[in-house]
Amino acid sequence: MKTYDIAIAGGAMAGATLALALSQASNGALSIAVVEPFRVDKDNHPGFDSRSIALSYGTKLILEQFKLWSKIEPLTTAINHIHVSDRGHAGMTEIDKNEENVAALGYVVELAAVGSLYSQLISQSGNIDYFCPDSVASISRDIESNLIKLGSGNELRCKLLVAADGADSICSHSLGHSNSELDFNQTAVIANVEVSEKHNGRAFERFTTSGPLALLPMSKNRMSVVWCLEPTEAEKVVRLPEETFIAQLQHAFGWRLGKITKVGTAASYPLVLKQKDQVVSHRFATVGNAAQLLHPIAGQGFNLGIRDIASLVDCITGKKDVGDYSVLSQYRECREHDRTQTISLIAGMVSVFSNDWLSLRIGRNLALMTMDNIPLFKSPLLRRTMGLVKR
């Protein structure tokens, strides 16, 4: 049985980023174990599937700090312009990178590509042991460490266990940590599509009567679609023949990118806000979706999670005992404001922009028009969506 400074349950985006960031920040001094049930190269990895995610400008800055951005950037497509509108109404706002004096407002990356990169980087790190395929079966804690039994029968000890194992975190559940949940009564339909006009790095967020519809620019002039619908409607849409799916998506989105010419395999998942009532306990911390799962509106999920990671790395760096109460209490306190503000923003946006009540429809269109004409109103929201917030 080997003893580690830190064990990370989950080796997808959050867990792998954390492991590599800790390794870099400590110059390889920290011993790290990553426990991951799915192999990137052979399994249909749920954390590195065919989806794409948007990385904010702030996330880019954090990845630069961890010496990861130069490796990830070739896999990304820059977002140069964002168009936000309310379908069938006058409300609209546009954001351009030149207005904000940045190289890009954000970046879109395919999870499968990052999965392959991270797998390679972890295998090259001498201070990271990768237990895969394997999973956490049980956790027992004493004053100085955690004893972790794995599904394979292996055991390991660590000063700190970090849960990065998703919204239904097995680690958090086994330690008795509860969730607060809000069901949005929406399902996200996701697919990649090809369009007839060049996207030129444009991203679109369109609010419809059934929920938000986002199209994000990808390589080879493809767009990543996140289409939020009522559950019964989403169930029908994912089963539609390609031609009918394209026709309905075209009707919902419009013709700003010309004709939608092709669609890949569509999938769906229910949209629920989940947040842990406590993000730390004795020698235990949570990051990313294990701490909070957000609605995809405004693309804040991973970007909030990477601020968890950056804060935890900051709190750990230079500490002799990385699982000490002082380290974890500092992490909890420094994440509280950002976490609360971002969750409240997203929940509020879903309520306002997924509702067709006349009063809300008028209010959101006035808000969009005001934002487009008065920068003072646009700036605070834009800075948060770009990830330029205090951690």
Query: Cis link prior to 133 (omega < 30° from 0)?
Result: yes
State the pLDDT confidence band at 138, using cuts at 50, 70 and 90.
very high
CA separation for the pair 249, 383 (Å, rounded): 30
Is 207 inside a domain boundary? no
Average pLDDT over residues 285-311: 94
> Chain-centre distance of CA 339, in angstroms?
13
Query: In this structure, what is the dihedral angle of CA atoms 386, 387, 390, 391, given to the nearest 10 degrees?
Result: 180
What single letter denotes the amino acid at residue 180? S
For residue 207, give both structure tokens.
Answer: 């609010």
Q: At 3, give phi and psi (nearest 5°).
A: -105, 135
Give which of 166, 174, 165 is closest to 35, Cα–Cα.
165
Is 27 inside a domain boundary? yes
Q: What is the count of structural domains for the chain?
A: 1
Is 245 inside a domain boundary? no
Is 321 inside a domain boundary? yes
- Global pTM reads 0.91
Average pLDDT over residues 110-137: 96
Block residue for tokens 């409240």: 344
Give which of 205, 247, 244 is closest to 225, Cα–Cα.
205
Of residues 313 and 383, more confidently modeled: 313
- What is the pLDDT, as a whole number, of residue 345? 83
pLDDT tops 90 at residue 183: yes
Residue 339 lies in domain = 2-47+114-180+272-350
- What is the pLDDT, as a whole number, of residue 369? 43
Of residues 363 and 147, more confidently modeled: 147
What single letter denotes the amino acid at residue 367? A
Judged by DSSP in three states, 21 sits in: helix
13 close to 111: Cβ distance less than 8 angstroms: yes
19 close to 32: Cβ distance less than 8 angstroms: yes
Q: Which residues have a Cβ under 8 Å from the Cβ of 68 and sit 6 or more positions away?
A: 17, 20, 21, 24, 121
Greatest pairwise CA separation for the chain in angstroms: 64
Is 267 inside a domain boundary? no
State the pLDDT confidence band at 85, using cuts at 50, 70 and 90.
confident
Is 94 inside a domain boundary? no
Is 214 inside a domain boundary? no
Tell me, what CATH number does 340's domain have? 3.50.50.60
Average pLDDT over residues 244-260: 96
Average pLDDT over residues 336-360: 74
Give the mean pLDDT of the chain.
Answer: 89
How big is the chain, counted in residues?
Answer: 391
Is 35 inside a domain boundary? yes
Q: In 355-387, which positions are buried (b, 16+ CB within 10 angstroms) versus exposed (e)?
A: eeeeeebeebbebbbebbeeeeebeebbebbbb
CA separation for the pair 214, 226 (Å, rounded): 5
